Amino acid sequence: MATLTLHPDRLFSADPGERGIARALYEDIKDLPIISPHGHTDPAWFAENEAFPNPAELLIVPDHYVFRMLYSQGVALEDLGVPTLDGSPVESDGRRIWQRFAAHYHLFRGTPSELWLNWVFVEVFGLDTTLTPDTADLYYDTIAEQLLSPAFRPRALFERFGIEVIATTEGALDELPAHRALGNDDWSGRVVSTYRPDSVVDPDYEGFHDELNRFGELTDEDVHSWKGYLDAHRKRRAYFREVGRATATDHGHPTARTANLSEHDCEKLFARVVGGRLENGDAETFRAQMLTEMARMSLEDGMVMQIHPGARRNHNEHVFARFGRDKGADIPSATEYVEALKPLLDELGNNPALTVILFTLDEDSYSRELAPLAGHYPALRLGPPWWFHDSPEGMRRYRERISETAGFYNTAGFNDDTRAFLSIPARHDVARRMDCAWLAKLVADHRLDETAAAELARALTYDLAKQAYNL
C-alpha cells in the first residue's frame, strides 16, 4: 500500500530562500481562527448536531466538485447516489458509492479536490495509506466508525477546526428554522445566514411567478406593485438580520450588469415582469436594476453585498432536467464589469458606507477591470478566487494580477464557498500557504520587509474577511 502523507512544505516555493520565509510567515498564522463568511453548508447540521450518515453521504453525494469529475469520465450520477428530481431510484448503498469513488480517485491527481480530500483523510480521520480500490473498504470502515463518535458530530468538528464564524446561504423564502433554533441555543458556535434573493429577482428562474406569489404571502406585501415588491425585500432582509443574524446578501446573476432607471420606467418594467409580458432584454434589465436596488437597501440596513456573476448555470440540460441545480454543470463565461457596474457606481460607488464584494469566473478581468475598479471606488472590494479558480494556481494568478493595482487591503480575504463541511479547514490551509508563498516572494525580491509581510499574512488570513463582512 502506498503511504499517504502531507508534506510540511507543500505549496511553498522550491527556492530555499523563499521557502524559509514562507515557513516563518505560515507558522505565525496557521492556527488563527477560521472566518468563513460565505458558503453553502447546511445550518441544520449545527442546529441538530446529528451524526453524519456515512462516508459517501458526507464526502461524495453533496459535493459537485467530486461528482462532476466522475461524470466527465462516464460515471452515472445515479450510481453516485445523487438524488433525482422525480424521486426515481439511485444507488443508496454508501459502500458501493465509495467503492466507485475509490476506483476513480486517480482522476483527481493534480486538482485542488485531491489536495482538500487528502487533507481530510489525514488530518480529520488519521488515514495514512492512499485511497485505491484495494483500500476502499479500509477507508469506508475507518471513516464510518469515527462518524459514530461524538467527536465527529458537526459542532465538535466546528470547534476542532477552529471556526470562529461560518455563514450559510438561504433563499429569500427560507424561514430559517435552523438559524432560529441556533439563536435559542446556548452553544457558543457562531452560524449566520446570508440573504440570496435570486429566485424572486430573476424572471428566468424556474418557477419565478410561483416564488413571487409565495414572497407576497410571506411578507404580506403586494408584490405585484413595484413599491410593495421592494418593501417585501426590506422585510425579508430585516428577518434575515434578526433571525439569521445575517450581515450580507448574495446575488448570483448571469452578468454584472446594473441599471439605474427612473421610478416610472421601473414601474413599467416591473409590470411587464409580473404580467408575463417580457420584451426582449427585459429579464436582464430587471436583474440589473435589482442589483442597484439591493445596493440602495444595503446602504439603508448596513448589509454587505456580494455579486457572483458570470456562471452559465445548468449548461447540461439533461442533468438539470433530471437532477436539478448545482450538479456540476455550471460553466464560466466571459464577464464585463467596467460598463456593467457604471450605473450602480455612478449612483453609490463613492459612498464608503457601502461595501460591494465582487467575484469573477473570468480571470482576464482581474488586471484589466476588477483591480482598477476596486483600486479606485470606495464601495468596492475584491472577493478571492472563486469556484473554478479556488486552487493554488488560481490563487497565484489572482495575486499576480490584482495586487499591484488594487493592493491587498481592497480585497476581502478568503472565503471557501463550499457545501463540503470537512473541506473548509483544508481550503483555508491552501489559501494561507499560497498567501505566505506570495508574500515570501515579495520579501525575497526586496519589495516588502518581513514585518509588513507578517502583518499582511494575518490580514489576508483573518482581519480582512472579518472587516469586509462586518463580522
Query: Do the domain assignments include residue 38?
Result: yes
Q: What was the pLDDT predicted at 1? A: 75
For residue 346, being part of any structural domain is answered with: yes
**Structural domains in the chain (count):** 2
Same domain, 328 and 275: yes
Q: Does residue 325 form part of some domain?
A: yes
- Same-domain check for residues 139 and 267: no
* Domain shared by 163 and 57, yes or no: no
Same structural domain for residues 22 and 95?
no
What is d(CA 70, CA 7) in angstroms, rounded to the nearest whole number?
27
Contact 28, 140 (CB under 8 A): no
Q: Are residues 121 and 209 in the same domain?
A: no
4 in a structural domain: no
Phi and psi of 380, rounded to 5°? -100, 140
Same domain as 204, residue 125: no
| The C-alpha cell that represents 45 in the structure block | 447540521
d(CA 356, CA 345): 10
Asked if residue 232 and residue 87 are part of one domain, the reply reads no
Using the Cα atoms of residue 181, residue 184, residue 189 and residue 194 in order, give the sign of their dihedral.
positive
pLDDT tens digits, 131-168? 999 999 999 999 999 999 999 999 999 999 999 999 99
Question: With 0-12 CB in 10 A as exposed, 13-18 as middle and 19+ as buried, what is 104?
Answer: middle
Among 98, 124, 152, identify where a domain stops: 152
Residue 11 lies in a domain: no
Q: Which of 101, 118, 152 is where one domain is finished?
A: 152
Distance CA 264, CA 359 (A): 31
pLDDT at residue number 57: 95
- Co-location of 118 and 179 in the same domain: no
Largest CA distance in the chain: 71
Task: Return per-residue pLDDT of the chain as tens, 471 residues.
Answer: 789 999 999 999 999 999 999 999 999 999 999 999 999 999 999 999 999 999 999 999 999 999 999 999 999 999 999 999 999 999 999 999 999 999 999 999 999 999 999 999 999 999 999 999 999 999 999 999 999 999 999 999 999 999 999 999 999 999 999 999 999 999 999 999 999 999 999 999 999 999 999 999 999 999 999 999 999 999 999 999 999 999 999 999 999 999 999 999 999 999 999 999 999 999 999 999 999 999 999 999 999 999 999 999 999 999 999 999 989 999 999 999 999 999 999 999 999 999 999 999 999 999 999 999 999 999 999 999 999 999 999 999 999 999 999 999 999 999 999 999 999 999 999 999 999 999 999 999 999 999 999 999 999 999 999 999 999
Q: Are residues 142 and 272 in the same domain?
A: no
* One domain, residues 193 and 134: no
Q: What digits encode the pLDDT tens for the residues 101-142?
A: 999 999 999 999 999 999 999 999 999 999 999 999 999 999
Cα gap 180→188, rounded to integer Å: 14
Nearest Cα residue to 429 out of 101, 51, 12, 49:
12
Q: Taking the CB of residue 30, how many other CB atoms lie within 10 A of it?
A: 14
CATH assignment of the domain containing 83: 1.10.2020.10
* Amino acid in position 137: D
Q: Are residues 187 and 78 in the same domain?
A: no
Q: Which residues lie closer than 8 Å to 420 by C-beta, 6 or more apart?
A: 59, 62, 63, 65, 116
Residue-range definition of the domain harbouring residue 136: 52-152
In a domain, 71, yes or no: yes
Q: Is residue 332 part of a domain?
A: yes
The reply to whether 188 falls in a domain is yes
* End-of-domain residue from the set 126, 152, 178: 152
248 and 111 within one domain: no
CATH no. for residue 368? 3.20.20.140
